[in-house]
Amino acid sequence: MFKYLLLAFIVVPFIELYLLLAIGREVGFWPTVAVVLFTSVVGAWLARKEGLRVLRRWQESVAQGRMPDEGLMGGVLVLAGGVLLVLPGVITDVIGLFLLFPPTRRLVAALVRRRLERRMAEGTLRVTTFQSAPFAGGNPFEPRVSRPRIQQGPGSETDAEFTEE
């Protein structure tokens, strides 16, 4: 994982800079600046439009009592695509557009989902959580919630939640 972050934050900006300089040499400085600004503005607009569309479809699905078609991964990919389009560069713009269009976003979401499922099956997926409250027991001013185990039959357990007042 670390090597991918290293690649993303060190190597990709150098490639982006090289491409922008090469494009600037061919078409000129101001047209290159205009293209970079244009893709940033269009990227922000597309990300907002597509993000609102995903949110609206989520709300409609939940209102109808069914699971959203696109899932949480679609929203995360729209956000990532918008961020990549706002960043200056050719590679980030192409990847950002790829993530904003629904057909390619579904393809990427399916690939990510399969990889996560495979890592879960192998037991190599690590999940890190952070505690939001400064105390181990949570917020001391809110009622405590406990989760007792309830036996439903031979060998089966279910979580039950209740609040003590």
Q: Which of 80, 26, 21, 24 has the alpha carbon at shortest distance from 50?
A: 80
In angstroms, the CA 44 to CA 138 distance is: 37
Q: What digits encode the pLDDT tens for the residues 25-44? A: 999 999 998 988 888 888 88
Residue 135 domain-assigned? no
Residue 86 lies in a domain: yes
Number of domains composing the chain: 1
Structure-block tokens of residue 31: 């047209």
- pLDDT tens across 122-158, in order? 877 776 666 555 555 555 555 555 554 555 555 545 4
Three-state secondary structure call for residue 70: coil
Cβ proximity of 96 and 85 under 8 Å: yes
Q: pTM here?
A: 0.63
Structural domain of 71: 2-122
Whether residue 34 lies inside any domain: the answer is yes
- Determine how many CB atoms are found less than 10 A away from the CB of residue 39: 22
Which tens digit of pLDDT belongs to each residue from 52-65? 887 788 788 777 77
> Angle 71-86/29-63 helices, nearest 10 degrees?
160
Domain assignment present for 22: yes
Residue 118 counted as domain residue: yes
For residue 152, is it within any domain?
Answer: no
- Euclidean distance between CA atoms 62 and 72, whole angstroms: 13
State the residue for tokens 């399916």: 110
Is residue 104 included in any domain, yes or no? yes
Task: Answer whether residue 100 is part of any domain.
Answer: yes
